[in-house]
Structure 1
Amino acid sequence: MDQYGGHQHGGPGQGFGPPPAGHGYGYGYGPPQPPPTYGVQPPYGVQPPPPGPDFLAVDRRNAVVVDQDGVSFEINGHSADFPWHGILTVRYKVDRGTALMVAVIVPDGRFFECRVDARSAVKLNEWMRQLAHVLGVYLAGR
């Protein structure tokens, strides 16, 4: 016994003892495992398609993202995602001379809009050019 009235560790009959025969590691322990892979892996020899172009316009409260997954809006902390298979078309325009207005039209005729304020006319023109290019890629053939 030790000075506190308990048994000292490591003495006979103390602790858990060695693992049973044939078990090199205790439950939950073992050699390091490779990290899990997430998502679907392409078959051997098949390369996934390269990511397409993307577009981002953001101001203090709102954002528009267009990429290979679809169109996403963030408006005052709330987000809405529109995958390409659920989009009929996308329209955009200059609003009040200083903002980009983007509208997603879905097959049932409803539309959803997001307005992003540009800090300058130069930035707004840059957004318009970039958005035209990116939408041209993803909406081609519709």
Structure 2
Amino acid sequence: MLGVSRTSVREAVKVLSAKGLVEARRRVGVRVLSRDDWRLFDPVVLSWHPDIQNDSELISGLIEARRIFEPAAAELAARRGTGSDLAAIEAAFNAMRDSIPHDLDGVCRADLAFHRSVIAASHNVVLKGLIGMLKRR
């Protein structure tokens, strides 16, 4: 029917199941799960979102999550950051400042680098795992 092997379909269902998008049960079948079950911190799941720029609920949730995590990351970066960590943060900040107002794309790249640098300087493995959320779409 789909022109692919059962093995390919099984593997695809495994991936979708691991990402929280579907649930597969023997003798019952596969069902799509509600968005509440999706692994939204997974950059792959976010990249599969068909119209992420227009999903105000998701965008609002991501902004709220950043407001919760980033101050804690900044505090940890201030306490744990090495000299090279702080230099990376400063370089990203300077790149943002130097790009304003003539290079919006440069500002966006520098802003992303700044936030990634702060999280990296926190030296917290869980926060560092969230860096994938901060990719430009």
Higher relative contact order (CA 8 A, sep 6+): 2
Return the structure number with greater helix share: 2
Looking at CA atoms only, which structure, 1 or 2, has the larger radius of gyration? 1
Return the structure number with greater strand share: 1
Question: Same fold by TM-score, threshold 0.5 exceeded?
Answer: no
TM-score (norm 1): 0.21
TM-score (norm 2): 0.22
